[in-house]
Amino acid sequence: MISISANLNIMIKAAEKASKSIIRDFGEIEKLQVSKKGPNDFVTKTDKYVEKILIEELSKTKKNYSFLTEETGVIKNKDKENTWIIDPIDGTTNFLHGIPHFAISIALQSKEELLSGLIFDPIKDEMFFAEKEKGAYLNNQRLRVSSKSSLEECLFSSNNEGIKFCNLNMRCSGSAALDLAYVASGRLDGYFQNKINLWDVAAGALLVKEAGGIVNNYDKFDINKIHIKASSAAINDKMMEKLKNF
């Protein structure tokens, strides 16, 4: 039996409740009201509603914790040392086009240290979660990163910019959170991307670390311009060499 913290339990329940709206709206995708937020970056009423549910649920027992969210931004409460980091739908473009590859991402940061992370894929019913020094899990099954040592045998993921950069076996899935969860679970061997947001990668970074992988130190970057590189320990040096000019 896995022992989880009270905070992670709250995160799981919040994600499960919010996912009901995602599943409902995904089934009626043509009826969604969509507004343009920026180049290749859309926001739907589902994003906003899911974020609202997550904030409400996480605040029920942790009333003073602060928030950093994709849609609302920074919400400063009395407790500024503990912050929920939320992406209500990571992979919104996939969601809008009826592609079933997106996830809810929630992380808890305390004094700039990630304590808990959760990535929930509601369509596949896959709940990835991790806590600092307690390991990473998928639906209660312990996760470990890939043990492959040859880059030729590995599979990597990035955005369009990353795919064009180097000669590796690449995929572009449209969800950074799930890419990192897949690195943690050994489905992917590495993930890298420049100028990405903290709410896209916070939970996933903890997952990779707790599954035995390596993530570069991204604290030196602005929260919405993070350069992240994550992989299994077995191929990290080789991947970083390939990406030294990225």
Quote the CA–CA distance of 243 and 82 in Å, as a whole number.
33
Q: Which residue in the list 87, 179, 189, 210 is annotated as catalytic?
A: 87
Q: Is 47 designated active site?
A: no
Q: Which residue in the list 53, 86, 89, 226 is annotated as catalytic?
A: 89
Q: Which residue in the list 47, 51, 71, 90 is annotated as catalytic?
A: 90
Quote the CA–CA distance of 69 and 85 in Å, as a whole number.
6
Q: Which residue in the list 44, 83, 92, 119 is annotated as catalytic?
A: 92
Cβ distance 26 to 100 under 8 Å? yes
Q: Is 87 designated active site?
A: yes
Q: Is 89 designated active site?
A: yes
Which residue, chain included where needed, has tokens 């030196």? 220
Q: Which residue in the list 47, 189, 200, 210 is annotated as catalytic?
A: 200
Q: Which two tokens stand for residue 217?
A: 């130190």
Neighbours of 49 (CB within 10 A): 16
Name the burial class of residue 211, with classes exposed (0-12), middle (13-18) and buried (19+) by CB atoms within 10 angstroms of its CB: buried
Q: Which residue in the list 25, 47, 51, 70 is annotated as catalytic?
A: 70
Q: Is 90 designated active site?
A: yes
Per-residue burial over 108-140, b = 16 or more CB atoms within 10 Å of its CB, e = otherwise = bbeeeebbbbbbbbbeeebbbbbbbebbbbbee
Which residues have a catalytic role annotated?
Answer: 70, 87, 89-90, 92, 200
